[in-house]
Amino acid sequence: MNPTTPGAGTTSSTDTEGIFCDAASSEDRLRRSAASRLALVRDPRAVQVLVGLLSDARQSVQEAAAQALRHRGEGAVSEALARLLGSPDLGLRNRAGTVLASLGEVSVPVLIREATAGEAGVRKFTVEIMGEIRSPWVVGTLVKALRDQDLNVAFAAAEALGKFPAPEVAECLISVFREREELRCPLSEALGMQADARAIPLLVEALGAPELLLQFSAVNALGMIGSPAALRPLMDAFHRSPEPLRHAILQSVTRLTEHISPSSAELAQLQAIIPDVLTAAASEEWEIRRAALRILSLCPASDESTAAVAALLGDPIDEIRQLAWRNLERSSADLLPALTAVLKSGPTVGRCLAAELLATHFDHRATPALREMLRESDCRIRAAAARALGQCGGGESVPALEALTADPEPEVRQSAARALGWMRAENSGACLRALLDDEAGEVRESALGALVLISGEQVVQGLREDLQHPRPERRRLAGVALGYIGDETVVEPLLEALAHEDSGIRQSAALSLGRLQDSRAFEPLRARLEDCEPGVRQASVDALIALDLDRAVLALEGRLHDPDPWVRYHVVSALSDRHHEAIPGLLIRALQDPALVVVIAASEALGRLGVEHSAGQLAGLLDRPEPELVRCVIQSLTLLGGEEAKAALLRHEGRQGPRTS
């Protein structure tokens, strides 16, 4: 409850004595409410009552009391709470500490007193609270606490002082670091947080200490300070350290590498440690390889580093492979030597990725190595090499790729087809057309795509012949390919295909001609409106509309009498999102159609197009027995919204009772 909201409980008291009574009530609700209201009560007894409620059995009451004490914020509160710092009830002690910390500088005087005069447990806890307050007034006390005879107090002071970055604090920390060996761990952490370069020699010295925990702390601190002066000592420590520490060292190196600008004088220090990082990149521990890769991604690329990163394309860990890929993808170095080395040997995954990476750079120099890979026994390598050649290769690779279209593995045939298409190998049309008969669907699809990309007279002529092929799938794919090629050269073959005996070919030719928008196709398409196959008639409807809407609207008038209701529905749907003066008339006529789907489509379209003068005809449909039609008509009349539409809707409501939307 908000402490500024008085009397939030419906039966709680509003006078001070009543509130004190409520605070002692056996009802949780009343105690909670009293705690909240005591935030505003001026009576000095309120603080003691609230402090008492901090140890209430109910957490909600404790929280309300803590909130009220924070709200009061006076010195008496901190005095009262300070007395709880030595409480054996740790929960109560912690709640008191939290409130004291949130009171900020108001608490400082009592905390200073407790930090110096209290018993050891209280001093430690007080020092921790001071670290939370972060007031400059506590620094002196914390510095003194560094020399507290109780080690725990001194530990807490070291940790707290890390949060007060200032040169004089760092000096104190450094001085105590020399005096008290047993405190060097927390002091290292604090010095790291201080980010003061004067601490580097001490921390470097700590790297050689026998205690592993101190080494960890020093490594982290050096990373936080972020000076390149720590690079060499860290990498020296790397070689003599056990695995978890090596990982921490590389993390720190990465961290401080991020501060180095490529143009700065510090770059030389970074470059000096690259050989060590390259060694780390070959580590058996994957986390060390990952850290090394991260460092390398921040450094300027060299031949050696590029080779080390390229080798990691074959790493067994996905994450490492991805990092290596991104590193190389962004690299400005010449990748060919390193990637060629990977192409020639190593794990399959690395070789495939190296091929793909070369392909993305369209690097022609990779062609010989890639062609070598076409002879590998592993089909994944042959396929990757074929795809890469499609991007890197020149005409000299075409025979090898054509040969691969007869590979026993579909993945390889598919890749070879893709590659020939990407290369636009104009003489490979026959070879690719043969793949239109391949047993594997993905190979046929790839061959089709390749033929579309190559196009040209030779391919178009071949596909034209394929329209007469005895195998229906090949005829179909040839028709599809001609449609996608989509230039001048395919208009004639597609017009021929419109009269093909195979209705699938006629349908696909009609659709393709619609996309091409060549006016020569209009009359042949109009003739196809009389095709014996409904699918061809529908495709012709779409094509004519795409080709020339003015002429199509006239031509489609007769299709409203098509014997197939789905063709009539298709005409209405196709016209319903077009704008032409003759379309409303056609749609109104379609309202008389014997097929319900057509009438529904027409009435929806009239509402959507806002054909106000159709309201009368639409209103006539409200008496029809089909509920789905009536719903649709109501919707259209509502959209039209003119006088006639409104009157029709009112009449209908009068007959039916109020309509529900």
Q: Give residues in contact with other proteins (CB under 8 A).
A: 313, 318, 321-322, 324-326, 329, 332, 349, 353, 360-362, 391, 418, 421-422, 424, 445-446, 448-450, 452-455, 484-487, 515
Contact (CB, 8 A) for 578 and 549: yes
- Cβ proximity to other proteins: between 450 and 552 the closer is 450
Distances (CA, A) of 141 to 187, 188, 412: 16, 20, 75
- Cβ proximity to other proteins: between 448 and 510 the closer is 448
Q: Which of 22, 92, 95 is nearest to 55 (CA)?
A: 92
Q: Which of 272, 278, 279, 321 is nearest to 296 (CA)?
A: 278
Q: Which long-range contacts (CB under 8 A, 24 or more apart) does 6-12 make?
A: 6/37, 6/40, 7/33, 7/37, 8/33, 8/36, 9/33, 12/37
Contact (CB, 8 A) for 72 and 100: no
- Cβ proximity to other proteins: between 294 and 418 the closer is 418
- Cβ proximity to other proteins: between 314 and 524 the closer is 314
- Cβ proximity to other proteins: between 317 and 406 the closer is 317
* Beta carbon of residue 516, minimum distance to other proteins (angstroms, whole number): 8
In the chain, the amino acid numbered 372 is E
Rg (CA), the chain: 41
CA distance 406 to 399: 12
Q: What angle do CA 263, 266, 269 make, to 5 degrees?
A: 125
Determine which helix (DSSP H) or strand (DSSP E) holds 161, and give its type and residue range: helix 151-161
Give me the helices (H) in 361-471, please. Answer: 367-373, 379-392, 398-404, 410-423, 429-435, 441-454, 456-466
Other residues' Cβ atoms within 10 Å of the Cβ of residue 3: 19
* Beta carbon of residue 645, minimum distance to other proteins (angstroms, whole number): 36
- Cβ proximity to other proteins: between 332 and 377 the closer is 332
- Cβ proximity to other proteins: between 25 and 322 the closer is 322
CA distance 436 to 13: 90
Instruction: Report the helix count and the strand count for the chain, using DSSP H and E.
Output: 41, 0
- Cβ proximity to other proteins: between 136 and 262 the closer is 262
Contact (CB, 8 A) for 61 and 95: no
What is the separation, in whole angstroms, between the first and last Cα of the chain?
43
* Beta carbon of residue 542, minimum distance to other proteins (angstroms, whole number): 12
- Cβ proximity to other proteins: between 202 and 452 the closer is 452
Q: How far is CA 547 from the centre of its chain?
A: 42
* Beta carbon of residue 577, minimum distance to other proteins (angstroms, whole number): 15
Give me the helices (H) in 181-316, please. Answer: 184-194, 200-207, 212-225, 231-240, 243-257, 267-281, 286-298, 303-311
* Beta carbon of residue 355, minimum distance to other proteins (angstroms, whole number): 13
* Beta carbon of residue 363, minimum distance to other proteins (angstroms, whole number): 9
Other residues' Cβ atoms within 10 Å of the Cβ of residue 579: 9
Determine which helix (DSSP H) or strand (DSSP E) holds 527, and give its type and residue range: helix 522-527
DSSP assignment of 294-318 equals HHHHHSPP-HHHHHHHHHGGG-SSH
- Cβ proximity to other proteins: between 96 and 521 the closer is 521
* Beta carbon of residue 323, minimum distance to other proteins (angstroms, whole number): 9
* Beta carbon of residue 95, minimum distance to other proteins (angstroms, whole number): 46
Contact (CB, 8 A) for 102 and 135: no
- Cβ proximity to other proteins: between 37 and 418 the closer is 418
* Beta carbon of residue 383, minimum distance to other proteins (angstroms, whole number): 13
- Cβ proximity to other proteins: between 119 and 378 the closer is 378
* Beta carbon of residue 277, minimum distance to other proteins (angstroms, whole number): 21
Residues 6+ apart with CB under 8 A from 646: 637
- Cβ proximity to other proteins: between 358 and 536 the closer is 358
CA distance 24 to 35: 10
- Cβ proximity to other proteins: between 155 and 325 the closer is 325
CA atoms within a 13 Å half-sphere pointing along the CA-CB vector of 569: 13
In the chain, the amino acid numbered 504 is G
* Beta carbon of residue 302, minimum distance to other proteins (angstroms, whole number): 18
